Amino acid sequence: MESPAQRRLNALQSHLLPSAVSAAEDESLIGRNVTSSSSSPPFFVDQQYSVVLPEKLQTGKWNVYRSARSPMKLLSRFDDHPEIGTLHENFVHAVETYRDYKHLGTRIRVDGTVGEYKWMTFGEAATAREAVGSGLRYYGLEQGACVGLYFINRPEWMVVDHACSAYSYISVPLYDTLGPDAVKFVVNHSGIKAIFCVPETLNTLLSFISSIPSVRLIVVVGGADEHLPSLPSTPSVKFVSYLKLLGQGRRNLQPFCPPKPDDIATICYTSGTTGTPKGVVLTHGNLIANASAFCRKVKFYPSDVYISYLPLAHIYERSNQVICCNNGVGVGFYQGDNLKLMDDLAALRPTIFCSVPRLYNRIYAGITNAVSTSGALKERLFRAAYNSKRQAIMKGIQANN
């Protein structure tokens, strides 16, 4: 019978695809650089990430590199699904393949206590995205309009993003942690027509509502219609709850307006820490190409579970969502508090955890502090077990204990 440690190692190794080099080349870890020229190396080490191309930049001083996993051409589509060229087609593939599988999960509060995760299937998300997109059309949003998302990670965020892809709207994430000046700048700079927010971020919007003239519709996620404000001074802005938008969309379903790969999918703004935020315009083809390259290295399964807590306003988390969707991976959202992330991890038990150095350092500090205060004997046992496990993993050894 396999030990828990061995099962974890087997699970990790099953996600890693075999190297592209042949068995003969694998022995020396040296592969032929098929893109080499007279001025670039004829070979590359398989452990490296890239190979040198014959081209030079205009100055002629720097080499041009391409991934060692696709040295002859740029990737633009998934190897196993070249027909997918947009985020809409990516989600349609997921719905057709994984309709009854878990897609978006969130923890339910019962009597003030956070309970287990409740899930929305791919099929249910598809129905909701059609209602949201139709609701936006009902309120007069034209194809190509920018839609702002002004709240933290939760299932509705992804449903709205799916709707934007299906009806050729451009999603524009708004940082919920930034001040009103940065949000106001992004809204005006991108010409956002509709904003999805929560009651907390709605208060921020109301503080400068007269300074964002392009906005015609504000949808409040988690708010009730009778509690929405009425602003006689800005009659051009309509306020509606997310639930009401869903209902109006269901009663007035509209056909999809599928985008093309070269159409803009999103404008991803920087946080503005070094000045005013800068918007990066990304097409559907850009996002699909990025996800396809990652899937060439790592294999995901519908049985996998991913925890979403990194800001969806960042492209890192957006890319992770595209990959999860393509492979039918269930996405569970955190409560919204990084200090409670460990509790969410215990409840969700994800098989995929992506992070950034800052949080890894925080987790590391928490573990080392707990070990150092546990007593000399326990600390020695931990160090011995940790070093043994680390050496085994580095050598590719599957431990039995």
Examine residue 139 and state whether it is found in any structural domain, yes or no. Answer: yes
Statement to judge: residues 240 and 337 lie in one domain? yes
Examine residue 185 and state whether it is found in any structural domain, yes or no. Answer: yes
pLDDT at 346 over 70: yes
SS3 266: strand
Question: What is the mean predicted confidence (pLDDT) over 266-275?
Answer: 84
Give the amino acid at 219: V
Q: Which pLDDT score is estimated for 1?
A: 58
Q: Which pLDDT score is estimated for 267?
A: 97
**Contact assessment for residue 154 and residue 106, using Cβ atoms and an 8 Å cutoff:** yes
Total domains, the chain: 3
Statement to judge: residues 190 and 306 lie in one domain? yes
Examine residue 319 and state whether it is found in any structural domain, yes or no. Answer: yes
Tokens of 288: 């699909």
Q: Which pLDDT score is estimated for 394?
A: 81
CA nearest to 307, candidates 331, 342, 337: 331
Integer angstrom CA distances of residue 187 from 32, 208, 211, 270 = 50, 11, 10, 13
Question: What is the mean predicted confidence (pLDDT) over 171-198?
Answer: 92
Tokens of 68: 């060692």
What residues form DSSP beta bridges with 117?
A: 107
Q: What is the pTM of this model?
A: 0.83
- 278-321 pLDDT per residue, tens: 999 999 999 999 999 999 888 999 999 999 999 999 999 999 99
pLDDT at 225 over 70: no
- 163-176 pLDDT per residue, tens: 999 999 999 999 87
Which residues contact residue 9 at a Cβ distance below 8 angstroms, ignoring those fewer than 6 apart? 393, 398, 399
What residues form DSSP beta bridges with 275?
A: none
Q: Which pLDDT score is estimated for 187?
A: 96
Residues of the domain holding 114 = 87-354
Examine residue 10 and state whether it is found in any structural domain, yes or no. Answer: no
If pLDDT is split at 50, 70 and 90, which confidence band does 389 have?
confident
**Contact assessment for residue 90 and residue 122, using Cβ atoms and an 8 Å cutoff:** no
Better-predicted residue by pLDDT, 62 or 316: 316
Percent pLDDT > 90 in the chain is: 59
Statement to judge: residues 113 and 232 lie in one domain? yes
Least confident of 11-20, 68-77, 156-165, 170-179: 11-20
What number of CA atoms fall less than 13 Å from residue 252's CA on the CB side? 15
Mean pLDDT of the chain: 85
The alpha-helical segments, DSSP class H, found in 46-193 are 87-98, 122-138, 155-166, 180-190
